[in-house]
Chains A and B, each alone.
Chain A
Amino acid sequence: MSDLIKKVTALLNDKTINAFIGYEKGSANRIRAIFVRTEDQVQKLILNASCTQNLTGYLMKHEVKKLGKLGILANVAALRSIMQLASEFQIKDGEVYVLFANADGSLTEFTDFKSIETFLQTTDTGIKSEEQEMIAKLEAMTVNERWLFWNKEFEKCIKCYACRAACPMCYCHRCTTDVNQPQWIPVASHELGNLDYHLMRAMHLAGRCVNCGECATACPMDIPLNLLTYQLISPIKATFDATAGMKADAMYALSTYKPDDKENFII
């Protein structure tokens, strides 16, 4: 019996949590999320190198919230998501029991935000080098080349909203996409509707994205959506000295200001 199964069994038995979000084996060797509530379900829990999904997206779903006090199996991106959700007053301190899976398979438990903050300070939370290279490649293009690149990418979009469903930060009960009076985003997945949707999504995640990459992983059409929000991380850090998902009491960069914020384009 693995440490994980032992630990979760104990947590469920002493009623520390009512449900635990972890990974189980899905069909065709895929890994999927499992919401463990009983002892037989605990046996299905697995933990291996393929378990990379950021499970915190489920924390905000009302069906999951209804299960009671939650425990969750977290990776680095998930810890940051929890910090960001906390800073947006979506999770209270101690409300979620966090089990962090270390690279060697051992588990670290976090019961309060302070310990997650301390842990994150000494952890690599940056963007992967291949993603950085892709962003640099795009930034080196001309404006028109970038337009053509994204036009081609957005052309593939089928507006399934998997990116929105997978994102731990997309928890609004009513998304701008769903608003039809006024109709901000054209519903059909034509060039205009797709461009509008993706710009809106990126802008609403600016300063909140914790670079977990779930949006791009979830995309069935393989659009590199994560680049849109990743690209904004470094300018926001450089201009406003703000990084998402590092502190539970951080201010959202776009809901605050400094009188001497610097820009060079307003005349």
Chain B
Amino acid sequence: MQEFEPKIVAFVCNWCTYAGADLTGTSRIKYSANVKIIRFPCTGRIDFMILMKAFENGADGIIVSGCHPNDCHYSTGNFHARRRWIVFRNLLNFTGIDTERIQFSWVSAAEGFKWADVVNNTVKKIKEIGPYENYNKIAVSTLFNEEGATNE
């Protein structure tokens, strides 16, 4: 049987983590190819609905990453994001959504190594947990695929 390759979506901020990921590349550090990076202007812009959309479209894991506290390009974006995540994680946990599948991190533009670690560790963790079957059952592809349609 083929090894399970998780789909990981990374939502990163333009100013720190995206530049950090760039550094990972220019430093020729090899890291897992399971991750699809989506660039945002700021972690403050990463609405919780966007994370849900990732799961709905078949993601097995999510990485959310931005500037370290006090380093935000817009001064306060990551502070607001942090509060939102604290609350959102509580809600996800209460509704039975696996918060282990969402990795939050701060990665600065100088932390190319850290970015590779974050991605590799997340991929390793999700490989251990396995595909997100609970959410996949109600994912867009299942619900709107004629063969897999759940409606009688």
Number of A-B contacts (CB under 8 A): 114
- Select which of B69, B82, B138, B140 is within 8 A of A195 by beta carbon: B138
A-B contact pairs, 7 of them (CB 8 A): A144-B96, A184-B49, A192-B56, A198-B95, A228-B94, A266-B82, A266-B104
What is the CA–CA distance of A236 and B89 in the complex, to the nearest angstrom?
12
What is the CA–CA distance of A151 and B137 in the complex, to the nearest angstrom?
11
Q: Pick out which of these stretches binds chain B: A9-17, A70-78, A166-174, A256-264.
A: A256-264
Contact A192 B83 (CB under 8 A): no
- Select which of A150, A151, A263, A267 is within 8 A of B82 by beta carbon: A263
Could you say which residues of chain B place their CB within 8 Å of the CB of A195? 95, 138
Cβ of A145 within 8 Å of any chain B Cβ, yes or no, is: yes
Could you say which residues of chain A place their CB within 8 Å of the CB of B134? 144, 147
Q: Given A235-B90, A259-B70, A259-B79, A176–B49 Cβ distance below 8 Å?
A: yes
Chain B interfacial residues counted at CB < 8 A: 41
Contact B87 A138 (CB under 8 A): no
Could you say which residues of chain A place their CB within 8 Å of the CB of B103? 267
Q: Given A143-B98, A145-B96, A254-B84, A190–B143 Cβ distance below 8 Å?
A: yes
Contact B82 A257 (CB under 8 A): yes
Cβ of A148 within 8 Å of any chain B Cβ, yes or no, is: yes
Q: Pick out which of these stretches binds chain B: A47-55, A90-98, A116-124, A202-210.
A: A202-210
Q: Distance in Å from the Cβ of A215 to the closest Cβ of chain B?
A: 15
Could you say which residues of chain A place their CB within 8 Å of the CB of B88? 203
Q: Distance in Å from the Cβ of A24 to the closest Cβ of chain B?
A: 37
Cβ of B93 within 8 Å of any chain A Cβ, yes or no, is: yes
Q: Given A263-B86, A267-B105, A150–B96 Cβ distance below 8 Å?
A: yes
What is the CA–CA distance of A61 and B47 in the complex, to the nearest angstrom?
27
- Select which of A146, A239, A263 is within 8 A of B95 by beta carbon: A146
Cβ of B10 within 8 Å of any chain A Cβ, yes or no, is: no
Could you say which residues of chain A place their CB within 8 Å of the CB of B118? 267
Cβ of B29 within 8 Å of any chain A Cβ, yes or no, is: no
Q: Chain B 114-152 against A: per-residue CB contact (8 Å), 1 yes, 0 no?
A: 000010000000000000001001111001000000110
Q: Given A192-B140, A196-B52, A207–B94 Cβ distance below 8 Å?
A: no
- Select which of A148, A206, A257 is within 8 A of B91 by beta carbon: A206
Cβ of B32 within 8 Å of any chain A Cβ, yes or no, is: no
10 closest A-B pairs (Cβ-Cβ)?
A147-B96, A146-B96, A257-B79, A191-B138, A266-B104, A192-B138, A267-B105, A206-B87, A231-B94, A150-B95
